[in-house]
Amino acid sequence: MEANVPPKRKEPAKSLRIKVISMGNAEVGKSCIIKRYCEKRFVSKYLATIGIDYGVTKVQVRDREIKVNIFDMAGHPFFYEVRNEFYKDTQGVILVYDVGQKDSFDALDSWLAEMKQELGPHGNMDNIVFVVCANKIDCTKHRCIDESEGRLWAESKGFLYFETSAQTGEGINEMFQTFYVSIVDLCENGGKRPTANNSASFTKEQADTIRRIRNSKDSWDMLGVRPGASREEVNKAYRKLAVLLHPDKCVAPGSEDAFKAVVNARTALLKNIK
Residue ranges in contact with ligand GTP by CB under 6 A:
26-32, 43-44, 46-49, 74-76, 135-136, 138-139, 165-167
Say whether residue 49 binds Mg ion (CB under 5 A): yes
Q: Which does 266 bind (CB under 5 to 8 A by kind): Mg ion, ligand GTP, none?
A: none
Q: How far is the CB of 139 from ligand GTP (least distance, A)?
A: 5
Q: How far is the CB of 166 from Mg ion (least distance, A)?
A: 11
| Stretch in the footprint of Mg ion (CB under 5 A) among 49-57, 170-178, 180-188, 204-212 | 49-57
CA distances from 203 to 209, 213, 263 (A): 10, 16, 21
Q: Which is nearer to ligand GTP, 28 or 132 (CB)?
A: 28
Q: Which does 139 bind (CB under 5 to 8 A by kind): Mg ion, ligand GTP, none?
A: ligand GTP
Phi/psi region, residue 24 (left: phi>0; alpha: psi -120 to 50; beta: rest), is left
Q: Which does 165 bind (CB under 5 to 8 A by kind): Mg ion, ligand GTP, none?
A: ligand GTP
Q: Which is nearer to ligand GTP, 69 or 197 (CB)?
A: 69
With the CA atoms of 69, 75, 78 and 81 taken in that order, what torsion angle do they form, in degrees rounded to the nearest 10?
A: 30
Contact 104, 24 (CB under 8 A): yes
Q: Which is nearer to ligand GTP, 74 or 200 (CB)?
A: 74
Say whether residue 31 binds Mg ion (CB under 5 A): yes
Say whether residue 91 binds Mg ion (CB under 5 A): no
Say whether residue 135 binds Mg ion (CB under 5 A): no
Q: How far is the CB of 58 from ligand GTP (least distance, A)?
A: 22
Q: Which is nearer to ligand GTP, 167 or 235 (CB)?
A: 167
Q: Which is nearer to ligand GTP, 75 or 253 (CB)?
A: 75
Give residues in contact with Mg ion (CB under 5 A). Answer: 30-31, 49
